[in-house]
Structure 1
Amino acid sequence: MKKIITVLSLTMIVFVMFASVPSYAGTDPLVSETTYYTEETDYIPGDCILTATRMMIRRAAIMNGKTGWDKITNEVLRPEATTMDGCLLSDFCFESEGMIYRIGFGTFSGTTDAERIGEFEALLREHPEGIVVHGDWAASTGTHGVLVVGVEGGEVYAVDASYNMGIFSEGIQKWSDTTMLEPSLVTRYWYISSITKTVEKPKPVPAATYYFNILRCA
């Protein structure tokens, strides 16, 4: 009887462990920690937004059936996405495996956490690969940005470069588990405005391109 009780107890423990795993956990590239991990040699202090943008493009590549998504690194993306002094462009194109990903920029209008989360949800319905959000002093580390990939039951899920580099490899986490503070503190976002094949000519980038200095990131 004692052995039976022990087996049942172990079974219950295993069940609880698996039941408590978030729906994002798994080995699929979209949810694998490997997709979001950044080698320290590929990261320059202040690369939080660039790194989040790289993650976003990787997700889009995976969703489009591309297998070379792991070749999309900060080093490869940097020349296309930033200026010489380390500023992330608000409008740029990046080409990989015969696809051109165009990145756009926007600002949030809501003032409360609920309004901001609602804006996240609306954007994610159009951009399931995720959106890069950023704000001045929006994190415990200061000015920072992360990739938001989903909202479930009012809970925001994001990927934070701070927890996916070096000894950390957390992958997708609840917003509350990242370094970010209240959602309402993020004021701007980047997203993939279009994806076209290389043979197609993308719309020209406007002459007046605004950008944000990523060197202020933590």
Structure 2
Amino acid sequence: MECAPHRMWKKLMALVLSLVMMAVMLPGALAVDLNVDAGFYFKQSRGGTCTLASAAMMLRRRAFLDGLTDWTDVTENSVRGSAWSGGLAHSFNYNAMQVGYATLPSGTEAKKQTLIQLLAEHPEGIVLYDRSRPHAVLLTDYTDGVFYCSDPAGSVSLGRVPISAASISIAGASCYWYITSDQNSVTASPDSLRLEGMHYPVNIRTGKGMSVSGIAASASNAVLTEVEVVILDANDQTVQSAE
């Protein structure tokens, strides 16, 4: 029978190996700053489709992170058939990406903390909705103490703007849509190493922790024997690595 310290060591090593396996070979898009607009954003096609447009921008950014070459084909019109029926469905699937719905806590500070955590887990962003307006935006990131978003309303500047310049506020927001699972492969070849359903932060502050989850799958009839993980700085230089 194994002693307790030995069992704990084996569990710890299993956890470390699991994290290494899940973090290996993140997509090339990860090295790109999502705060730089590569063509992610657009305006809603008509009144009343702010939720649909925001969801399409969210899915477009996720497809970009997944390394899908047709990410620019994700549009309000292409998502409509899967997600729209007089309003944005609370749950829908688009191109192997599952979207779900949830409500926010009532207090402003509690909302802020919830949204900060959500954005750390969802670099593609979340659809933030204010029922009192009513209006929705794509909340993209929380950087240097500021929430940023893309507002599909025609009266707001195109692209990523501070939430203070948008049609809604964090205090007034009531609920959100987010990608609950993603089955797309991050590699172009179906018979190579694949990462599926990955969640990871795009930007990591020095001294801050991070969470990574997902599934690593090797090519058919192949065995993974070695992996390497790297963290890059803003200039794509390695600041930490492990094999």
Same fold, TM-score > 0.5, yes or no: yes
Is residue 2:163 matched to residue 1:175?
Answer: yes
Name the CA distance, whole Å, in 1 between partners of 2:144 and 2:184: 36
Could you give the per-residue CA deviations for residues 12-66 of structure 1, whole angstroms, max 9, x where no partner exists?
xxxxxxxxxxxxxxx977632732024x7xx132010100000000000111111
Identity fraction in percent = 30
Name the CA distance, whole Å, in 1 between partners of 2:113 and 2:33: 27
Is residue 2:40 matched to residue 1:35?
Answer: yes
* 1:154 to partner: Cα distance: 2.5
Name the CA distance, whole Å, in 1 between partners of 2:130 and 2:159: 21
Q: Is the CA contact 1:117–1:156 (under 8 Å) kept in the aligned structure 2? A: no
Structure 1 runs of 4+ with >3 Å offset: 27-30
* 1:169 to partner: Cα distance: 5.2
Unaligned runs of 5+ residues in structure 2 are 1-31, 191-243
CA RMSD of aligned residues (A): 2.3
- What letter matches 1:123 in structure 2? L
Q: Is the CA contact 1:37–1:169 (under 8 Å) kept in the aligned structure 2? A: no
* 1:197 to partner: Cα distance: 3.9
Q: Is the CA contact 2:35–2:160 (under 8 Å) kept in the aligned structure 1? A: no
| Correspondences of 1:125-144 after superposition (within 5 Å) | 125-137=120-132, 142-144=133-135
Q: For this pair of structures, how many residues does the alignment match?
A: 155
| Correspondences of 1:39-188 after superposition (within 5 Å) | 43-83=45-85, 86-95=86-95, 100-112=96-108, 114-137=109-132, 142-163=133-154, 170-180=158-168, 182-188=169-175
Q: TM-score, normalised by structure 2?
A: 0.58
Q: Is the CA contact 2:41–2:150 (under 8 Å) kept in the aligned structure 1? A: yes
Q: TM-score, normalised by structure 1?
A: 0.65
Q: Is the CA contact 2:130–2:174 (under 8 Å) kept in the aligned structure 1? A: yes
Could you give the per-residue CA deviations for residues 128-151 of structure 1, whole angstroms, max 9, x where no partner exists?
1101010122xxxx3111011111
* 1:69 to partner: Cα distance: 1.1
- What letter matches 2:162 in structure 1? K
Q: Is the CA contact 2:66–2:184 (under 8 Å) kept in the aligned structure 1? A: no
Could you give the per-residue CA deviations for residues 106-160 of structure 1, whole angstroms, max 9, x where no partner exists?
0011412x221111111112111101010122xxxx3111011111232110110
